[in-house]
Amino acid sequence: MRRIFDDEHEQFRESVNGFLTREAVPRTEEWEAAGIIDRPFWRAAAAQGYVGFAAPEELGGAGLDDFRFNAVLDEEVVRTGAVTDAFGLTNDILIPYLLDLTNEDQRERWVPGVTDGSIVPAVAMSEPGTGSDLRGIASTARWDGDVWRLSGSKTFITSGIQADLVVVAARAIRDGVDGLGLFVVPATADGFTRGRKLDKIGRRAQDTAELFFQDVAVPEEDVLGDPGKGLRYLMLNLPQERLSMAVSAVAGAERALAITLDYVKERNAFGRPVGSFQANKFALAEIATELRVARVFVDHAIEEHVAGRLTADDAAGAKLWTTELEWKTVDLCLQLHGGYGYMEEYEIARMWRNARVQRIYGGTSEIMKEIVGRSLGL
Ligand X SMILES: Cc1cc2nc3c(=O)[nH]c(=O)nc-3n(C[C@H](O)[C@H](O)[C@H](O)COP(=O)(O)OP(=O)(O)OC[C@H]3O[C@@H](n4cnc5c(N)ncnc54)[C@H](O)[C@@H]3O)c2cc1C
Instruction: Please tell me which residue in 32, 75, 241, 254 is annotated as part of the active site.
Output: 241
252 binds ligand X (CB under 6 A): no
- At position 279, the amino acid (one-letter code) is A
Residue 188 has a CB neighbour count (10 Å cut-off) of: 8
Nearer to ligand X, 50 or 156 (CB): 156
Q: DSSP readout, 187-236?
A: TTSTTEEEEEEP--SS-TTS-EEEEEEEEEEE-GGGEES-TT-HHHHHHH
212 binds ligand X (CB under 6 A): no
- Is 221 considered catalytic here? no
21 binds ligand X (CB under 6 A): no
C-beta nearest to ligand X: residue = 131
Contact positions with ligand X (CB under 6 A) in 339-358: 357
Contact positions with ligand X (CB under 6 A) in 47-106: none
x-marked contacts with ligand X along 122-141 as a string, rule CB under 6 A: -xxxx---xxx---------
CB of 134 to ligand X, least distance (A): 9
361 binds ligand X (CB under 6 A): yes
181 binds ligand X (CB under 6 A): no
Nearer to ligand X, 216 or 291 (CB): 216
Report the alpha-carbon distance of residue 245 to residue 248 in Å, rounded. 5
Query: 46: which DSSP letter?
Result: H
Counting Cα atoms < 13 Å in the Cβ hemisphere of 319 gives 30
| Size of residue set near ligand X by CB under 6 A | 22
Nearer to ligand X, 73 or 123 (CB): 123
Report the alpha-carbon distance of residue 50 to residue 9 in Å, rounded. 13
Strands (E), the chain: 121-124, 140-143, 148-158, 165-174, 177-186, 192-197, 208-218, 223-224, 268-269, 272-273
Q: 118: which strand partners?
A: none
* Interface positions with ligand X (CB under 6 A): 123-126, 130-132, 156-158, 200, 203, 208, 357, 360-364, 366-367, 370
Which residues are catalytically annotated? Answer: 241
